[in-house]
Structure 1
Amino acid sequence: MTATAAPTGTGTTAVRLPGAWGLGLQRGALEIKQFFRQREQVVFTFAFPVVFLFLFASIFSDDVKGAGITASQLYVPAMTAAGIMSTSFQSLGISIAIERDEKVLRRLRGTPMPPAAYFLGKIWLVLCTGVLETAVLLLVGITFYGVDLPADPARWFDLAWIFVLGLTACALLGIAVSSVPGSGRSATSVVVLPFLVLQFISGVYIAIGTIPGWMLDIGALFPLKWMCQGLRGVFLPDSARILEQAGSWEFGKVALVLGAWCVGGLVLCLLTFRWKNRREG
């Protein structure tokens, strides 16, 4: 990191530090480099949803009556949505809680680095891992389960905004939930449990038509259900719309809910984020 010296009217030299955006890019490069150096974490992050996709798609591979698809194809977009949430919500919720517990955040807060640069670095990390996770899952779905890439440019646009809004909403929720664990050791339990429950009531592992209505209503309050529904609309034929609760892809509602969670997640971050543990004041 270099600083630019500029002369002042008094003959002294003022140091112009890089802005938050430039520091955020550098911080993001560092976060990505550190992530890929941890081989076990890399393997777990990318292999976990692929293994689950393989298991569920292999066990439930029959044709879905009246939908014109197989159960295997139904799992691909749902697992892709779960993969996006895993690389954002789960990853940030756990990693930030651990960094807070190890006093990494406290040390960073004591440097001249703008707080925004830290969060930009995390966003670059989840953007990189989210794109790679999505690409891997779609490659598996296309290669082994007969999922087709969209032929309509409008569907590619739908994929882009669902990915961006979903990743942003889940990343902000991950940052907010990182303040809940009392310590870094408890972070995994605190973050993984609600994420696992959401996967079951949002149509990731179980078809929407077999989930009790009250569970669907709870799942509909959170982004994952709408990410699953939106991605099904992108990658599945229109005949599969009959499987949805409303009999439609509801792209407008998907955008509205994910957009609302982006705003709500930002508010939660501003209200709850802490640089120190509760016991440190």
Structure 2
Amino acid sequence: MTTTAVRATARGSAGAVPGPWTLGLLRGALEIKQFFRLRDQVVFTFSFPVVFLFLFASIFRDHVGHTGVTASQLYVPAMMASGIMSTSFQSLGISIAVERDEKVLRRLRGTPMPPAAYFLGKIWLVLFTGALETAILLAVGTVCYGVRLPSDPGRWFHFAWIFALGLTACALLGIAVSSVPKSAKSAGSVVVLPFLVLQFVSGVYIAVDTIPGWMLDFGALFPLKWMCQGLRGVFLPDSAKVLEQAHAWEFGRIALVLAAWCVGGLVLCLLTFRWKNRRDG
């Protein structure tokens, strides 16, 4: 083979090396495959918000004020927002902490795989599971509780960016909080507790108009409250605006808050993420 042919072959081989985006997609496919291999995890992940929706919607079924909206219909978008945060913040916060404790991250860091590919794989995982979770809850809400799908394309546009920004913000916060637990055994407690508190002060389990103002102000510091409010604005009639703290859907403010949390979450990830435990040096 001539020198020219060798160089051409080398250039072709170098060009065939997959980049971070391709590796991230492949890593995401692997993450999804591994997720569905754990059947108990799959059942719990997708059934938990559905069960809670069924319980709360069955207990509270009366109409709320003069809005023409039932309490069960209020729970559907709130549970959708909670499901998005569950499949991103909670899932990543626990799973990455476990992988770090089991030295999976340390081994991956020693491979030629770009670090970005690992995080892209996680994003693909939460995007897939978050979309599936949302679709399940929306199907249950429309079939069982009379939630109407929007006929206005503008509302579907709002749904798309609320889902994308909310999922991204919560995923980044999940990656950041994964550095807090000192071991895999404590990961569940460390991550679940703040998520549980936020669900109560963000209008997931309790109607916004019955939550004390100071609790709402605290919940407004975090993405979940704004995701709940935005999804209510998408799937509920405008008559339900009066139930919100500001008596408006505030889509502009929701976009700003979620975008700010995307930036803030990325900064937190860059400042706090570690590939190994503190005890490993």
User: 1:88 — aligned with what?
Assistant: 88
Q: 1:175 to 1:7 in 2, by over 3 A?
A: farther
| Conserved? CA contact 1:8–1:14, under 8 Å | no
1:13 & 1:114 partners in 2: Cα distance?
21
User: 1:106 — aligned with what?
Assistant: 106
| Conserved? CA contact 1:92–1:171, under 8 Å | yes
Q: Cα offset for 1:237?
A: 0.2
Question: 3-state SS of the aligned residue for 1:185?
Answer: helix
Q: Residues 13-92 of structure 1: matches in 2 within 5 Å?
A: 15=14, 17-92=17-92
2:53 & 2:26 partners in 1: Cα distance?
34
User: 1:134 — aligned with what?
Assistant: 134
2:86 & 2:219 partners in 1: Cα distance?
16
- The letter for the 1-side match of 2:129 is T
Q: Residues 146-185 of structure 1: matches in 2 within 5 Å?
A: 146-185=146-185
- The letter for the 2-side match of 1:214 is W
Instruction: Name the TM-score, length of structure 2 as normaliser.
Output: 0.96
Q: Cα offset for 1:66?
A: 1.5
| Conserved? CA contact 1:7–1:13, under 8 Å | no
2:11 & 2:241 partners in 1: Cα distance?
69
User: 1:246 — aligned with what?
Assistant: 246
Which has the larger share of helix? 2
1:12 & 1:269 partners in 2: Cα distance?
36
User: 2:210 — aligned with what?
Assistant: 210
Instruction: Name the TM-score, length of structure 1 as normaliser.
Output: 0.96
Question: 3-state SS of the aligned residue for 2:157?
Answer: helix
Q: Cα offset for 1:7?
A: 3.9
Which has the larger share of strand? 1
2:70 & 2:261 partners in 1: Cα distance?
31
- List runs of 5+ in structure 1 lacking aligned partners: 1-5
Question: 3-state SS of the aligned residue for 1:161?
Answer: helix
State percent identity of aligned pairs: 80
- List runs of 5+ in structure 2 lacking aligned partners: none
- The letter for the 2-side match of 1:55 is L
Q: Deviations over 1:209-258 (max 9, x none)?
A: 11111111110000000000000000000000000000000000000000
- The letter for the 2-side match of 1:34 is Q
Q: 1:7 to 1:192 in 2, by over 3 A?
A: farther
Q: What is the CA RMSD across the aligned residues, in angstroms?
A: 1.4
User: 1:116 — aligned with what?
Assistant: 116
User: 1:273 — aligned with what?
Assistant: 273
2:240 & 2:255 partners in 1: Cα distance?
20
User: 1:3 — aligned with what?
Assistant: none
Q: Cα offset for 1:18?
A: 1.4
